[in-house]
Amino acid sequence: MNSENHFNIVVIGAGPAGCQCAISLAKLGYKILLVEQHEIFQKNDFSSAATPLETLDKFDLPETVVGSYWQKISIVTTNVHQTWASPKILGAVLNFAKLRAFLAGEVETYGGRVWMGCRYTRHFQ
Ligand SMILES: Cc1cc2nc3c(=O)[nH]c(=O)nc-3n(C[C@H](O)[C@H](O)[C@H](O)COP(=O)(O)OP(=O)(O)OC[C@H]3O[C@@H](n4cnc5c(N)ncnc54)[C@H](O)[C@@H]3O)c2cc1C
């Protein structure tokens, strides 16, 4: 195996957690490989990804990952239906595929590698 494929840490799964972990470790200078079993992020675009507005600032997310904004929440159960609304925007509904593509791009920006379409099955010591 050539040295290009030697890594300090392999992170399995390019969800928000794996991507964020890989970004933090790459920022610390580790040689990171992030692997994702799906070939494209649209393949498992499962999350509604609604979040408070603060998340955008806290994780330095660009507007391009925002699908829409929200200012009202409704909780609907069998016998109670309650809505809370605000005149100002309270949160965003992220485009989950774009969010993960952006975060994976950040891993590469900080010197990490991202292998799409690779599934972890086992490891050897
Ligand atoms: C229907 C639905 C709606 C939701 N709505 C919201 C919401 O509105 N707001 C909110 O905050 N949260 C929401 N969530 C929860 C949110 O999506 C999860 O908390 C979040 O995705 C968890 O991130 P994660 O990185 O831990 O895992 P995941 O997002 O599940 O990412 C794990 C990644 O690992 C990959 N993977 C798994 N096994 C392997 C393997 N062996 N090899 C390689 N890759 C692998 C998977 O393909 C996946 O990409 C929702 C979840 C669902 C299901």
| CATH code, residues 1-47+96-125 | 3.50.50.60
Separation of alpha carbons 56 and 35, rounded Å: 25
Helix (H) or strand (E) holding 71, with range, is none
Pocket of ligand 1 (CB under 6 A): 12-18, 35-38, 44, 46-51, 119-120
Q: How far is the CA of 15 from the centre of ligand 1 (A)?
A: 5
Domain with CATH 3.50.50.60 in the chain: 1-47+96-125
Find the angle CA(27)-CA(30)-CA(33) to the nearest 5 degrees: 100
Mean pLDDT of all residues belonging to the chain: 95
pLDDT tens profile 67-124? 999 999 999 999 999 999 999 999 999 999 999 999 999 999 999 999 999 999 999 8
Compute the distance from residue 5 Cα to the ligand 1 centre, in Å: 27
pTM over 0.85, yes/no: yes
* Nearest-atom index, ligand 1, CA of 121: 41
Whole-number pLDDT of residue 16 = 97
Measured in Å, residue 20 CA sits from the centre of ligand 1 at: 13
